[in-house]
Amino acid sequence: MADTEPFYIYFYSGHKGQFGHEFFRFEIDEKGRLSYANDSKYRRDSLIEKSLKLSPTMLNEIKRIVEDSEIMNESDDKWPRRDDVNGRINLEIIIGKRKINFETAKISSLSDIVDTRDPEGLRVLYYLIQDFKCLIMSLISLHFKIKPIA
């Protein structure tokens, strides 16, 4: 994983429902720019957008997480198609010359994938997404903390 190789991650999970278009989205580029957006109309919340710069060490850790997940070896051919009612997931990753661009129905829990044609591939996707969400939310929380930790 050379530092000069192309690197990009785009993730989107969203749906249009009772409260309008609600989504969680983030994007990371090879320069370490992390852009985050979360729009929930529940309880009249509004769009939250944050952007920050990741260190080279953090960028390398994110690349390691992607590599260790083996998501780059998966295919979405047998995954459920997007569902405009229940939502969709998009995941695009570029590492060097390898690229994936997946789109599938929104996964709310592991029980959603049990009876699919590719439960193992969707399990890999599900756990990678959970890792990403935890990491991104932790980074956003730490970076934009109002009161510094003493």
- Are the C-beta atoms of residues 36 and 44 closer than 8 Å to each other? no
- Are the C-beta atoms of residues 41 and 20 closer than 8 Å to each other? yes
Question: For the segment 8-47, what is each residue's pLDDT rounded down to a tens digit?
Answer: 999 999 987 776 778 999 999 999 999 999 988 666 677 8
Judge whether residue 2 has pLDDT over 80. no
Give CA–CA dist 116/3, Å, rounded.
Answer: 37
pLDDT of residue 32: 96
- Are the C-beta atoms of residues 30 and 6 closer than 8 Å to each other? yes
Query: Residue 100: helix, strand or coil by DSSP?
Result: strand
Question: For the segment 113-125, what is each residue's pLDDT rounded down to a tens digit?
Answer: 999 999 999 999 9
Structure tokens given for 150: 């003493």
With cut-offs at 50, 70 and 90, classify the pLDDT of residue 106.
very high
pLDDT of residue 62: 97
Diameter over CA atoms, the chain: 51
Weakest mean pLDDT among 3-7, 72-76, 95-99, 102-106: 3-7
Residue with tokens 């591939």: 121
Mean pLDDT value across residues 83-98:
92
